[in-house]
Amino acid sequence: MFARSIALVLACGLTAPLSAQTPAPATTLFQNVRIFNGKVGQLSGPSYVLVRGNKIERISSTPIATDRRADTVVIDGGGRTLMPGLIDMHWHTMLVRPTPAALLMGDIGHLNLVAGAEATATLMRGFTTVRDMGGPAFGLKRAIDEGTVAGPRIFPSGAIITVTSGHGDFRQPFELPRTLGAPQSRGEQLGAAMIADSPDEVRVRVREQLMLGASQIKLTAGGGVASPHSPLDASTFTEAELRAAVEAAENWGTYVTVHAYTPASIQRAIAAGVKCIEHGHLMDEATAKLIAEKGIWLSTQAFPDEQADAFPPGSSERAKALEVFAGTDRTFALAKKYKIKTAFGTDILFSPGLAQRQGELLAKWARWYTPAEALVVATGINAELLALSGKRNPYPGKLGLVEEGAFADLLLVDGNPIENIKLIEDPARNFVLIMKDGRIYKNTLPK
């Protein structure tokens, strides 16, 4: 009996369709749009774009004839801008809305439903893809891919991997010392963060995330703002531990990215073979040069000062936040000076209010970049970093571009965001149509 039920489970596992719920998308023809293609910082002349299934089939400067089948949707763009959906390279799908206490004490079913609602809101802000930099996002990703929940494409990292006392270790002092083999902490049970204190433990934790479906691996190589026991200046993993993670990820054809602010933590990570640095706000000139020479990616953020308000006045977390934010100008200056491959992300945690300003955090890049440069980063360039996931890329194909053959992740913008990047601060008003994977999720154009 037992054997028969195991066999049944195995058979179901092998044959269950993963995306049975969603009907095939219709054909959509965009007429009279001006295209920002995600590569070139200017708009095309009046154009026509045909989407068939989930891909852009044809782009033309002259009208495209359609068979006008009943399932063909014709959109008169009225000269508006058609651009790729935005990509956020440092997002935490599961950690945006809950408070830290709700995350650690709440019910996982509730957390998933809350995260599903936030995923829909994220898509409605025009973000059609996010790279999840830590949290138990695999179930949500599957529900989105199946069409059960509306949300962005998710490149999941699974649990953040950290050391005892590192950024992501949210245990309380009374939980120490941990006896080896003792039950996992709540953060580990949730799959939010895993603690690993040797190369062998790191390998286990990395391989577990890969088995669950991680498209890249995230470690915290140095101290962090929001963690209670993690000074900013601390370097956490040893080089051997970082290298164990890199080997395990590369054996699976993907890469490791690390949270790191300081020169020491960044340099050690690069020595171990890490391919991408998250944040980097406290880097110095020599580190910037090294990042550029080695062709390492920098995935960074223009944190707004108000983000420090999440922490009480006088708290060490608030002091750490302000120290990091003070490095923002210098980091962007160094990134530009050394032509570092720079990706855009927001890293919004535990703040549904700030999440509503996701686009505004991109518009802030206008302090260092032209609007066109910032928009190219948030689309075509971000997609280049996504492609580093190689065979672990859950959505192989062209993302972040308006090109023939690319995935049809598109925004129709009322206005020209290259002239006025502030348009992306108000997606409810200015993104009049949002399409992901060929499917229209929003259309407020007059019928």
Which parts of this chain interact with Zn ion (CB under 5 A)? Answer: 133, 347
CA dist 356 and 384 (Å) reads 26
Nearer to Zn ion, 25 or 345 (CB): 345
Nearer to Zn ion, 169 or 347 (CB): 347
Give the shortest CB-36-to-Zn ion separation in angstroms.
28
Report yes or no: 28 and 438 within 8 Å, Cβ to Cβ: yes
In the chain, how many H helices and how many E strands? 16, 18
Residue reference for tokens 């039950």:
183
446, two tokens: 């007059």
In the complex with Zn ion, the residue whose CB is nearer, 75 or 161, is 161
- Comparing CB distances to Zn ion, the nearer of 219 and 408 is 219
171 sits in which H/E element:
none
Nearest-approach distance from CB 162 to Zn ion, in angstroms: 12
| Residue closer to Zn ion (CB basis): 56 or 354 | 354
Pick the closer one to Zn ion by CB: 267 or 307: 307
Q: Which is nearer to Zn ion, 158 or 371 (CB)?
A: 158
Residue 157, amino acid: S
φ/ψ region of 398 (left if φ > 0, alpha if ψ in -120 to 50, else beta) reads beta
Neighbouring residues of 67: CB distance < 8 A, sequence distance ≥ 6 = none
Query: Which amino acid is located at 320 in the chain?
Result: K
Residue pair 269/258 in contact (Cβ under 8 Å)? The answer is yes
Q: How far is the CB of 1 from Zn ion (least distance, A)?
A: 47
**Are the beta carbons of 81 and 415 closer than 8 angstroms?**
yes
| Residue 204 neighbours by CB under 8 Å, 6+ apart | 196
Q: How far apart are CA 305 and CA 35, in angstroms?
A: 34
Q: Select 197 or 347, whichever has its Cβ closest to Zn ion.
A: 347
> Rounded to the nearest whole angstrom, what is the least distance from the CB of residue 150 to Zn ion in the complex?
24
CB of 299 to Zn ion, least distance (A): 10
Q: How far apart are CA 368 and CA 370, in angstroms?
A: 7
What is the nearest approach in angstroms of Zn ion to the Cβ of residue 71?
Answer: 41
Where are the strands (E) in 178-252, listed by range? 193-195, 217-220
State the DSSP string of 241-273: HHHHHHHHHHHTT--EEEEE-SHHHHHHHHHTT
Q: Which residue is nearest to Zn ion (CB)?
A: 347
Least distance to Zn ion, CB of residue 220, Å: 9
Q: What CA–CA distances, in Å, run from 368 to 64, 276, 334, 339, 360? A: 39, 21, 11, 13, 14
List the structure tokens of 277. 């640095």
Measured from the CB atom, is 82 or 137 closer to Zn ion? 137
Q: How far is the CB of 280 from Zn ion (least distance, A)?
A: 13
What DSSP designation does 364 have? G
Q: Least distance (Å) from Zn ion to the CB of residue 195? A: 17
